[in-house]
Structure 1
Amino acid sequence: MTDSSYSKSIEIPNDLVFKNLKSAKRFAIDIGGSLCKLAYYSTVKKKRSLVSDEDLVEDKPGSHIYKVSETDEIGYKLHFVKFETKYIEACLDFIQQDVIGGCHFPNKVIKATGGGAYKYKDLITQKLGVEVDKEDEMECLIKGCNFLLNNIPDEAFMFQRHEMPEYRFEPVDPNVFPYLLVNIGSGVSILKVESESKYERIGGTSMGGGTFWGLGSLLTQAKGFDHLLHLAEKGDHRNIDMLVKDIYGGAYSALGLPSDLIASSFGRAARSAGGTEDVSHKPEDIAKSLLLGISNDIGQIAYLNAKLHGLKKIYFGGYFIRGHPMTMHTITFAINYWSKGDIHALFLRHEGYLGAIGAFLKGTEEADSEKYSWRWSDMDVTGWKENLYSSSGLPSPRAFENPLPRDRSSTFDMFELDRYEKPQVHFPLLLDPASYFPDTEDLTQDHLAMEYWLNCFQDAIDGFVQRAISSQPNTKDAVERAHKFKANYIQKLNELRENPISHGSLTVRSLLDTREQCMEEFNFSDPFSEQKQKENEHALKQLKEYLDTLDKMDLDNRNLSLIEGLLAGNVFDWGAKEIADIMATGNFGFEQAKKKLQVRPWLFDDYDAWAERLKGPPHKCAIIFCDNSGMDIILGVVPFARQLLMNGTKVLLCANSRPALNDVTHSELIILMKKVAEISSVIAGALQDQKLQVLASGQGSPCLDLRCIDHDLAETLKQNETDLVVIEGMGRAVHTNLHSAFSCDSIKIAVLKNRWLAARLGGEMFSIMFKYERSKKVQVST
């Protein structure tokens, strides 16, 4: 290959495309005819706030807080970059210049797959000085597909062109197998996947993307594949195809055939060819008819194979798909028609990366799902757009209003995954894990709600900027990084206004989590750390007197007061703007919070059923998902947990593994419970006897996604026969899990601290939600 055969002048921004290249450890590449997908693994340094009970810092005379320090933590990322194959030599040059000497290739080998793996083998060896290990393309596709389905929520979706929402993301099924993978490239391969290692090609057809492109090139003047799809978007196939009504004058009701069903692809063109009149057909109509004919055949063949093998899930991928709405629509229609709605066509947001992911995973420990899970990071995905399409492959709804050719001029796009140190699993007490969605509301279905929440998060951003700066007073670049965080997050909010489904489902949880990711990206890992410690110290001073007050009550009054205490503590939330304004005055305490609460009957009021349940046998084991630091955990959760322990129930306190807002973290909660044990003998004894345990959720969010909790937590729940789930807080119990069903008893408790949301639910500010739901299994048996 000569220098003139590729562009040496292309610019590849190191901070946007090839991130963390100097710490890259391993590469894999999937080389197609048009696009190249590169995967690599890197280590990154992250700032992490630590609290220690070994060194206490005097805050003021007689008052101490825990020492807060920051340390560098090593994190691990998988990076995936997509670029046009014609730029491969320039990209290899860039990697060679920036990596060689710093990158550690195991055995000097790079994994490669795809049709171009042979063609560019010598070039890769020459540029990088490594051996190219060619991997089977189909095996890589399947490994990549399994990886995405197991690790990325909102990866699989159904496409419903004329419905709201157009994209319906599938629940993450903990048992992804078996399924049918239909890979549509030049031809079509149909693979039955039964496990991580067991799969077989059970069918296929030569009528695939190459057929569409080839016949389209012969029949129209289209300049390429994307141009053909653009023509098809504007075409009317009824001018080319013969419909049922063209033959029978209407519907053929005896056979259940609707009048507008295609009876013969290109049939009308054949009829017109026999006439004396010179009839010319529009290229748009030809392209539309061709696309429908090929898609319908692929859909029918896929359905027949699925039915033959008893499979209900069909995933479609390959160059033919690539997130194009017309292609997905025609495939979806075919599957719905032939299966009579019993089977749905499923697509993948990142299906273009399947081969690269699979090649990377071959022979690496990262492929071991028993050791690691991964979470999607959207930090730079939106930096490279394909016209109306995000790099996730999902087009904006605006793409349907004014369809344009898919623009590849942006050259690159990418996405990243962060590694969990432990595998993540579904919460074992969900009634039906396969149908679980964490979010209460999909904002894409409610434009009023979407606009409100996007504006709400944007209006609150300056407060977070100031919080970030004040949390690092001795750091020179804190102001600069805080304003970069602001610009980055506002950019993402604006992108979501333009294309709400660009990052998957759009929910309050996703907006909160994206903000936390942005803060972490700019090294503000825990800006509320010192604030939390001060509030913890203040609350600890009030605990003994409060416990003594509770102990003097009769049991009925005490049980109600414990719930009211949980609610009062939950008011203290820096993530709720109106509450943050009140707390900033410094004149708001636990008793003031109690007075703010709605009086009974509450907005959601199942307290009487809970009080009646307390008269029966105690629960064996309760898990409490904790929310905020300070008053919430110490004066709210601790007394409630203490009473459960006194009743004979084992208690598991579960906190975030990573910081989010002023939520208590696992490491902080361990220290806090040591301090609480000095005040309460019940807590001290329970800790010693392991009747009270502090566990990590595996999450770092103000919300609670029960699709991905820490593996160790799940095992502990099973071992202890947990029969009560308590979810506390607006993020965990209202924005998420409001309608979640469990196989055991559950309590969802929160104070509504947003006026708009409270009004939506039929209440006012400080309205109360107390939902107690009996075990679904118990309900069935009775």
Structure 2
Amino acid sequence: MPSTIGDKTYSKSIELPETEVFRNLKNAKRFAMDIGGSLTKIAYYSTVPYRKVLYNKDQKTLDSEGQEINPKYEVSQGDRLHFVKFETKYIETCLDFLQQNLVASADVMKEKKIKVTGGGAYKYADLLQEKLGLTVDKEEEMTCLIEGCNFLLKNIHDEVFIYQRHGNPEYRFPNVDPCIFPYLLVNIGSGVSIMKVEAEDRYERIGGTATGGGTFWGLGKLLTKAKGFDELLALAERGDHRKIDMLVKDIYGGDCTSLGLPGDLIASSFGKAAQAAPESIQEADIARSLLFAISNDIGQIASLYAMMHGLKKVYFGGYFLRNHPLSMHTVSFAINYWSRGQVQGLFLRHEGYLGAIGAFLKGAEECDADKYSWSENYAGSSGLQSPLPGHKLPSLPVAVNVDQLEMDRIDQGVLVYCPLLDEPASYIPDMVDLTEDCEARQYWLECFEESLDKFVSQAIKSQPHSADAPARAQKFKEKYISRLQYLKQHPCAFGNLTVRSLLDTREHCLNEVDFPDPYLQQKQMENEAALLLLSDHLAELDALPGRQKYETAATNLLAGNVFDWGAKEAAALMQIPGFGFQQALAHLQKRPWFIDHVEDWLVRLEEGPHRCAAIFVDNSGMDVILGVLPFARELLNRGTKVILCANSKPALNDVTYSELVLLLEQAALISKDLGCALEEGRLWVMDSGQASPCLDLGRITRSLADAMIANQVDLVVIEGMGRVIHTNLHAKFKCDVLKVAVIKNRWLAKRFGEQEDTFPVVFQFERKTVS
């Protein structure tokens, strides 16, 4: 039933229960809103408790009786931003829900104010005050839009897309320059506002037009029987504008070559309507002609402003485009045509949240851009264009969908581009875009699904004393399978679909149900076994003459990389009783390798030592202890300083920063050379900012980037299949770079043209790029 507050009446729907949509409300701290005519967006911040592994060098995997010791954990707090979108007509229900589940919570909203932007900040001010007991602090809409846009551009890698209605894929995600300014923001609401953004705090409205989404809906309502904006757009999808619009060929009989006008170009919107018999005109044709007329006008005006101000990046937003492919298509075509290809229309995956994000950021110290970076949480976000399955609110009419975005704060502070990348603006970490490569997409989606049971088993095994571990592991399986199934239908849902994003999604889903490090015990056991072999391993290496020693150290680096629980074929080998380092050497491809630059590498070593090497390490156990450390030791003995760069968080059996610090202390007791280098500050471990088996050099910790510059790093070593084969094989650097990996996936090896049963080897050395 409707209710009345003051002299205003609001529609009331049925009760809204807490579901997967409004997550973690019990730990929410504060929130902000952007209330539009059709949609209301809520942004709230919460702390998320999670299990954190405590690494202890004295902790053993097995007790004296061979029984597993329960891993030691502590409960830590993460920070998360939640953005939820729903229809404004259900605002009263939503406010009741928020009052009960958020505002009434202890220590929440201490200032008794709520930041609100959009037209609803004024229209619903009384309702907000009455329902929430909070004073509405109104924020200027355009300022919020720009701040929200800046936030997304800086923190979500695949936020920007180009829409290609007839393309394959339909959505394309271009590489975004790390310098996001300047750009043009074209917001298409009822009217159109055009904003030039030159810096965080420097922007201005440089133009616009009164012909916008409101014009389309207003005229559409007069000209058709459509009962809503979406219904009018659906009508336009079915129409044929050529029955209403006068084309160039209708005037000239074909192309007008003297003016460079193609025959299918619209010469006059609704130009044929005057001569057409009224009964021959269909409403769908009218709707499509109207859509084209308005879109062409917006595209032309936007392109003119962009060219006038010398801007190449033009972002479009507003409800006229939001989840409306035909609108995006017409605006994209128009701006491309009028700018003669100099300007391309760009869109944002989470454009609908710009205002809410901007309002929330006002005074939000926990979101200080100079201190923190954020990343999208794939386990809690909806996909592009349509919400994920299960994210409908059961309390509301079945047609009501609720969209959401979640972002986790990076504990390591601000993430930046690696300063040694040759051209950061053109850097793309991933080797294969699965949105374009259908064969690879089908293979990898099936591959990840088939491997799920192994991860469920490993997750349960990692917490043997947790009674609810099996139930949580099953939840992980269900969530991850639902993501994989969804991606089969919507491969562009979360940006470029890559092996890296599939791995990241799996890690997010594991963390979602409190499995932070399923391979912890396995890693501890393998580390202990490898440390026992290290002394003899180094002695064998020292017995070799110079050139042979360096070549063997390189081969051992590759043999160590065979020990990888993330690769199906390698995992099968590692389960064979007695499989060790010598057996791994035997499974390497015989030289010459698939990519074999060993001779180039040895020649470079003969020219003299590097100043400092940054080595991005891969797996625990044999890989880091018998592969990486002896290789690093040879560099140290030549006078090269070495930074070992390790993952910030666990992923598969990758060694983490915290683990490697302890392992290096233990190895230093075994190797005098390593001990001296560690004590003298010539060898140290740094946190890379990564939480994936892959490597995105566009997001490393600022401390690591600063250390690379301060120590004049002139050699980067990247190791591992995920870090080299799935990512970075073609990355160019300003310094020497060595990329080493073993291809442990048979399907992938065949794709590279290798048919042998042994594992193909990549040993790729590249001299620094001279720009």
Q: 1:389 aligns with which of 365, 386, 399?
A: 386
Structure 2 partner of 1:417: 407
Q: 1:92 aligns with which of 90, 95, 101?
A: 95
SS in 2 for 1:254: coil
Report whether the alignment pairs 1:435 with 2:426. Answer: yes
Structure 2 partner of 1:330: 330
SS in 1 for 2:274: helix
In structure 1, distance between residues paired with 2:89 and 2:68: 59
In structure 2, distance between residues paired with 1:517 and 1:58: 29
In structure 2, distance between residues paired with 1:423 and 1:640: 31
Assess if the C-alpha contact under 8 Å between 1:746 and 1:772 holds in 2: yes
Assess if the C-alpha contact under 8 Å between 1:65 and 1:534 holds in 2: no
In structure 2, distance between residues paired with 1:43 and 1:548: 50
Structure 2 partner of 1:9: 14
In structure 1, distance between residues paired with 2:115 and 2:626: 56
Q: 2:24 aligns with which of 10, 20, 25?
A: 20
Change (3 A) 1:494 1:676: same
In structure 1, distance between residues paired with 2:602 and 2:431: 27
SS in 1 for 2:432: coil
Structure 2 partner of 1:404: none
Q: Which amino acid aligns with 2:467?
A: K
Structure 1 partner of 2:753: 762
Change (3 A) 1:412 1:358: same
Structure 1 range deviating more: 192-201 or 220-229: 220-229
Structure 2 partner of 1:238: 242
Structure 1 range deviating more: 174-183 or 613-622: 613-622
Assess if the C-alpha contact under 8 Å between 1:26 and 1:103 holds in 2: no
Structure 2 partner of 1:745: 736
Q: Which amino acid aligns with 2:109?
A: F
What per-residue deviation string (whole Å, max 9, x for no partner) do you get for residues 329-353 of structure 1?
Answer: 1111111111221211100000000
1:399-418 maps to which residues of 2 (within 5 A)?
A: 409-418=399-408
Structure 2 partner of 1:185: 189
Q: What's the offset of the Cα at 1:55?
A: 4.8
Structure 1 range deviating more: 283-292 or 100-109: 100-109
Q: Which amino acid aligns with 1:250?
A: G
Q: What's the offset of the Cα at 1:701?
A: 0.4
Q: What's the offset of the Cα at 1:11?
A: 3.3
Query: RMSD across aligned C-alpha pairs, in angstroms?
Result: 1.9
Between Structure 1 and Structure 2, how many residues are aligned?
A: 755
Q: 1:555 aligns with which of 527, 536, 546?
A: 546
In structure 1, distance between residues paired with 2:164 and 2:734: 32
Structure 1 range deviating more: 428-437 or 110-119: 428-437
Structure 2 partner of 1:43: 47
In structure 2, distance between residues paired with 1:410 and 1:248: 49
SS in 1 for 2:204: strand
In structure 1, distance between residues paired with 2:468 and 2:388: 31
Report whether the alignment pairs 1:119 with 2:112. Answer: no
Structure 1 partner of 2:515: 524
Q: Which amino acid aligns with 1:70?
A: Y
Structure 2 partner of 1:70: 73
1:627-776 maps to which residues of 2 (within 5 A)?
A: 627-764=618-755, 765-776=758-769
In structure 1, distance between residues paired with 2:677 and 2:323: 54
Report whether the alignment pairs 1:376 with 2:369. Answer: no
Q: Which amino acid aligns with 1:649?
A: T
Q: What's the offset of the Cα at 1:498?
A: 1.1
Q: Which amino acid aligns with 1:25?
A: K
Q: What's the offset of the Cα at 1:103?
A: 4.7
SS in 2 for 1:381: coil
Structure 2 partner of 1:312: 312
In structure 2, distance between residues paired with 1:507 and 1:35: 32
Report whether the alignment pairs 1:200 with 2:204. Answer: yes
Structure 2 partner of 1:258: 262
Structure 1 partner of 2:454: 463
Q: 1:268 aligns with which of 268, 272, 296?
A: 272
Q: Which amino acid aligns with 1:2?
A: S
SS in 2 for 1:347: strand
Change (3 A) 1:323 1:429: farther
Change (3 A) 1:51 1:586: farther
SS in 1 for 2:275: helix
1:451-490 maps to which residues of 2 (within 5 A)?
A: 451-490=442-481
SS in 1 for 2:502: helix
Q: Which amino acid aligns with 1:768?
A: V
What per-residue deviation string (whole Å, max 9, x for no partner) do you get for residues 112-158 of structure 1?
Answer: 00001112112212222221100000000000000000001100011
Structure 1 partner of 2:506: 515
Q: What's the offset of the Cα at 1:427?
A: 1.2
- In structure 2, stretches of 5+ residues that fail to align are 390-396
What per-residue deviation string (whole Å, max 9, x for no partner) do you get for residues 357-407 of structure 1?
Answer: 00000111134211111110122334xx89x72469xxxxxxxxxxxxxx9
Percentage of pairs with the same residue: 57
In structure 1, distance between residues paired with 2:278 and 2:288: 21
SS in 1 for 2:551: helix
Assess if the C-alpha contact under 8 Å between 1:182 and 1:302 holds in 2: yes
Q: What's the offset of the Cα at 1:408?
A: 8.5
Assess if the C-alpha contact under 8 Å between 2:318 and 2:352 holds in 1: yes
Structure 1 partner of 2:36: 32
Assess if the C-alpha contact under 8 Å between 1:78 and 1:417 holds in 2: yes
- In structure 1, stretches of 5+ residues that fail to align are 393-406
Q: What's the offset of the Cα at 1:162?
A: 1.7
In structure 1, distance between residues paired with 2:101 and 2:595: 59
Q: Which amino acid aligns with 1:618?
A: P
In structure 2, distance between residues paired with 1:69 and 1:40: 32
1:335-346 maps to which residues of 2 (within 5 A)?
A: 335-346=335-346
What per-residue deviation string (whole Å, max 9, x for no partner) do you get for residues 448-481 of structure 1?
Answer: 1111111101110000010001111110100000
In structure 2, distance between residues paired with 1:57 and 1:227: 62
Q: What's the offset of the Cα at 1:317?
A: 0.2
Q: 1:593 aligns with which of 569, 584, 602?
A: 584
Assess if the C-alpha contact under 8 Å between 1:187 and 1:210 holds in 2: yes
Structure 1 range deviating more: 629-638 or 705-714: 705-714
In structure 2, distance between residues paired with 1:207 and 1:408: 33
Change (3 A) 1:588 1:342: same
Q: What's the offset of the Cα at 1:58?
A: 5.8
TM-score by length of 1: 0.94
Q: What's the offset of the Cα at 1:494?
A: 0.5
In structure 1, distance between residues paired with 2:293 and 2:483: 39
